[in-house]
Amino acid sequence: MSIRWFIIALITASVIISCNQNKESDLESESVFAGLTGPYLGQKPPGMTPELFAPGLLSAGHDEFKMTFSPDGREFCYNLGSPAAQWIVEPTGLFRKSFMMFTCEENGHWIEPREFSFGSDRNSYYPFFSPDGKKLFFSSERTGKMRKWYAEKHNGDWSHPKEVEFQNGFQSDGLFISVALNGNLYFGMSPDGENTFIYMSKYENGLYSIPEKLNNMVNEAGGGHHPYIAPDESYLIFDYPVSKEGTEEEDLYISFRSQTGEWMKPENMGRNINSVYRDKRAFVSFDGKYLFFISNRIDSEIPSGPLTLKQLQQLTGGHADSFQHIYWVDAKVIEELRPDNQ
């Protein structure tokens, strides 16, 4: 057998093995999801210390870099992506893409996560349910430029996406949409191509106003990234780059609205929430019970001395892998940060 044919045979065998493994993995995963009941994937609620959300279900050697639950907690959307150092192989070749996934409860049980039918471009990011659960906002490059889009739910199915329309034909390339109860949009924009600032667009007569930059209290020193707005617009959570042990990482900050309606100076959410790793992209469940966020933290403490094999396995196995994963914590942590006069 020539070297050429040997290589072809080897690749073919690898593909067959990979497909079989994927089928087995899918069946195993499906059986696990089918056994889940209740809101929030049927997971045990967290306490006042952040915990990995749905361990073993979502944290499986890839990045989960954004998530949102529906107002009733029975629909779940998230972005799944290959890690920065890895590529995915398809018949057309190598690529790195974002998969926008969803799962929901059907007949009392959660179904296996799947891609949105309108997400086949695999360039859609940062889903966010509207507070009434009837719209799903997201960012997408489907037209060649990053724009804001939404799909509407009709009779249990999602419509073909429409681009968000702003007054006077304004177009915005901002990312990471968050929606208030009154329909106002909050998102980040980078008008100078370097610094990202947080903007707000008012929902008026079916259109969105030209985005207004939030005050300097929020946007000082270059502003923040990935804003989450409370449904009543009483507080705003975002992440901002900070220096941690000689590296640039992110921390979560919170700004409350004063009695006069102005945004107050943002406060770091503290070491109970932020780690020495990247902590970002907050979301609070619509019932106000849980704060979710994305982190690439490694939970295990790294021993200072030589590692044993068991210690090494604990550090490198499971979710202690430095990928981006979803964490959640009791949202009472937000009230503990609220100023006394609010």
Q: Of 44, 66, 70, which is closest to residue 56 (Cα–Cα)? A: 44
The per-residue pLDDT for 315 is: 56
- Residue written as token pair 């943002």: 266
Instruction: Please give the pLDDT value at position 307.
Output: 64
- Looking at residue 303, its pLDDT comes to 61
19: amino acid identity, one letter: C
> What's this model's pTM, rounded to 2 decimal places?
0.82
The rounded distance, in Å, linking the Cα atoms of 19 and 166 is 45
Query: What pLDDT score does 42 carry?
Result: 94
Give me the residues of the chain with pLDDT under 50, please: 1-29, 85, 94-95, 318-321
pLDDT at 96: 54
Cα separation, 85 vs 130, in Å, equals 34
Amino acid of residue 296: N
What's the confidence (pLDDT) of residue 321?
46
147 dihedral zone (left: phi>0; alpha: psi -120 to 50; beta) = beta
122 burial level (CB within 10 Å; 0-12, 13-18, 19+): middle
Please report the pLDDT score of residue 84 as a whole number.
52
Tens of pLDDT, residue by residue over 63-76, are 788 999 999 999 99
For CA atoms 158, 147, 254, 278, give the dihedral sign: positive
Closest by alpha carbon to 215, among 229, 201, 227, 199? 199
User: What pLDDT is attached to residue 137?
Assistant: 96
CA distances from 293 to 52, 153, 301, 330 (A): 10, 26, 21, 12
